[in-house]
Amino acid sequence: MAQDSGIARQSTWMTIDPSLAAEQFCYLTTTGRVTGNPHEIEIWFGVADGRLYMLAGAREKSDWVANLIKQPNVSIRIAGRTFDAVARVVDAETPEDAMARKLLVEKYRSPRDDLSGWGQTALPVAFDLSA
């Protein structure tokens, strides 16, 4: 379910259809920081206030995070729809940081794995969809 993050959006960004929030995976394409080639991964995501969030378990050591730090313009495919987006690492210990962690843990936890460790240590990344 989409949530309201309480984080202000700039008017130049578009809002994602909340129905896409129920999808289990999205496909993130970054530009390789060394090769410049596109790199696509399948990854969990959450939606709050029209913005997408993902968590990187390996933090900045994740290739996709290192790629988007160098080139924040990415594309995201959800249920056959592709969006251009601008990525940014969420500032630590902010309301947005806490919201992003809670959003993804609540979406993906299960009786077998509550994901609390991942939710506490992973790096939150936000994606604003380009209009």
User: How does pLDDT run along the chain (131 residues), one tens digit per residue?
Assistant: 344 444 443 445 577 777 889 999 999 999 999 999 999 999 999 999 889 999 999 999 999 999 999 999 999 999 999 999 999 999 999 999 999 999 999 999 999 988 988 999 999 999 999 86
Per-residue pLDDT, 131: 64
CA 14 to chain centre: 15
**48: number of Cβ within 10 Å:** 24
CA 65 to each of CA 36, 58, 85, 118, 123: distance values in angstroms, whole numbers, following the listed order: 14, 9, 14, 16, 9
Does some domain include residue 65? yes
Residue 5 covered by a domain: no
DSSP 87: E
CATH code of 124's domain: 2.30.110.10
Does a structural domain hold residue 107?
A: yes
Say what the pLDDT of residue 7 is: 43
Q: Is residue 22 part of a domain?
A: yes
Give a yes or no: residue 1 inside a domain.
no
- Domain extent, residue 44, equals 13-90+97-130
pTM passes above 0.75: yes
In a domain, 85, yes or no: yes
Total domains present in the chain: 1
